[in-house]
Amino acid sequence: MRPFRHRRLTAVVALATMLVTTAPPAAASADDSRNRRAGYHRVGYFTQWGIYGRAFPVKKLDTSGAASRLTHVNYAFGNVSEDGRCYVDGGPGEGDAWADYQRPVPAEESVDGVADAWGEPLNGNFGQLAKLKAKHPGLKVMISLGGWSWSTYFSNAARTDASRKAFVASCIDLYLKGNLPVLDGGSGGPGAAAGVFDGIDLDWEWPNWPGEPGNVVRPEDRQNFTELVAEFRRQLDAYGRTTRRHHPLTAFLPANPATMDAGYEGREIFRYLDFATVQGYDFHGAWDPVTNQQSALRVPSGAPDNPDFSAEVAIDGWLARGAPREKLVLGIPYYGRGWTGVSGSGNGLFQPATGPAPATFEAGYEDYRRLKTLAGNGFTVHRDLRAGHAWLFDGTTFWTYDDPAVVLQKTLYIRRAGLAGAMVWSLDGDDDNATLTKTIGLGLATP
């Protein structure tokens, strides 16, 4: 692909800067919301746990203006049991049914301003997502299954024809039909969450490839993943004949070409998926001994690793394996990766470091909304316009992250490459004005 010209990239930076400094518009009307949803997919992950330390309730998707710029909200995550079923995990340190649908949401955190009462069938995040959909017609909400921590038993669920049928049926029953377990106080029950979730997002990390320690991994995962998405498509279509609706099926796919080859029959899986989101981040982090980019659009000149990862490498990898470009959605991070104890000279890039940078919740990982405050406060913003990445450096600490200029540049790449849209991990990393989500909305706006 022909590189962007420098003049065009300078304009991107100027436009993104203008976006940041412009006051946010009032919440969109329902008609405006529907108009914005034509064209590209704009997918955002909402984390179950974001309501706690990050103080990010569902209501913020509405008040910030993010909801009117999104086409899909993926709820992270749903768990898979050892015997291969979708289930609500209330185990300490794991599942959080309280956050999902038991917690009475106070009026000040409620999408419609009405407080939940204790013991209602649908409280918590699920109840708020139902209210968000009522306010933003056309917004799709997906249950995302697995994730890094909950992919442990995906292989068991996908192993046989019988296990696949039982797994898919359990997921549709729990999430789409909304038959939730009854919890203390009475929340849940048959049909309690019916209509909250429109479809299924598969986030198996990864078939036939190591993910979190303890994951079950089998060589036959590669073929079984294809069979699993086929079974989901069959049962979702059958259910759709009763609801008279199409229930979408998506999947989160890796950036590593070796993981692509080990775990996926590239062309085959897209026969059943509405689209797939491609990992566009975590290319490097404090697990590396030198500073680097975690989400560059292209591999930077002088990168110490060869071959190396980039968003373009990931997309090209899937295209080479038969994926249709009109079903590929590029992942964009709303967080940065950081190192401290950086030595060497220059702007800090590709320099030795002693370890992860101190951060709010996890060393070496910080939300965009906090990183944006560092610029000009001891940190200098650096950017590589040709490679499409930015970083912050104060002489000792280094953060690689996506700011509005980088995000807008990625939306231009999505348009030029003929891709299906953008996905973000995760919505709670954005600022209170939804600056990054609005940038995506601007970059992927259709006439």
Q: What is the DSSP string of 132-178?
A: HHHHSTT-EEEEEEETTTS-TTHHHHHSSHHHHHHHHHHHIIIIIS-
Mean pLDDT over 159-188 rounds to 97
pLDDT of amino acid 1 = 33
Tell me the average pLDDT across 365-386.
97
Residues spanned by the domain of 97: 37-333+403-443
Which CATH number covers residue 209? 3.20.20.80
**99 neighbors 69 (Cβ within 8 angstroms):** no
| Mean pLDDT, rounded, for 337-359 | 97
Rounded alpha-carbon distances, angstroms, from residue 417 to 44, 125, 330, 387, 421 = 21, 36, 11, 16, 10
- Whether residue 226 is contained in a domain is answered as yes
- Which pLDDT score is estimated for 38? 52
| Interval 93-134: pLDDT, tens | 568 999 999 999 999 999 999 999 999 999 999 999 999 999
pLDDT at 104: 98
Q: Return d(Cα 30, Cα 367) in angstroms, integer.
A: 30
- CA distances 269 to 79, 120, 251, Å, are 22, 40, 9
Output the pLDDT for position 169. Answer: 98
Task: Tell me what the mean pLDDT of segment 36-52 comes to.
Answer: 88
Predicted local confidence at residue 285, as pLDDT: 98
**For the chain, first and last CA: distance in Å?**
25
Domain count along the chain:
1
Q: Give the mean model confidence (pLDDT) for residues 279-294.
A: 98
Q: Rounded distance, CA 127 to CA 101, Å?
A: 7
Backbone angles phi, psi at 402, to 5 degrees: -105, 120
What are the tokens at 191? Answer: 């049909």
Q: How far apart are CA 196 and CA 224, in angstroms?
A: 29
Is the pLDDT at 379 greater than 50? The verdict is: yes
Domain assignment present for residue 31? The answer is no
- Say if residue 287's pLDDT is above 70: yes
**Band of pLDDT at residue 234, cut at 50, 70 and 90:** very high
CA–CA separation, 68 and 441 (whole Å): 9
- Asked if residue 370 is part of any domain, the answer here is no
Task: Report the alpha-carbon distance of residue 64 to residue 75 in Å, rounded.
Answer: 18
- 78 located within any domain: yes
Q: Which residues are catalytic?
A: 205
Residue 346 has pLDDT above 70, yes or no: yes
- 252 part of a folded domain: yes
Domain presence at residue 140: yes
pTM: 0.93
Distance CA 52, CA 55 (A): 5
Considering the chain, what percentage of its residues have pLDDT values greater than 90? 89
* Secondary structure (H, E, C), 181-200: CCCCCCCCECCCCCCCCCEE
Confirm whether 426 is domain-assigned: yes
The pLDDT of residue 32: 37
Is the pLDDT assigned to residue 21 strictly greater than 60? no
Q: What is the pLDDT of residue 91?
A: 61
Query: Which residue in 99, 57, 101, 76 sits closest to 426, CA to CA?
Result: 76
Q: Is residue 371 part of a domain?
A: no
Q: Calculate the average pLDDT of the chain.
A: 92
Among 6-10, 36-40, 363-367, the range with the most confident prediction by mean pLDDT is 363-367
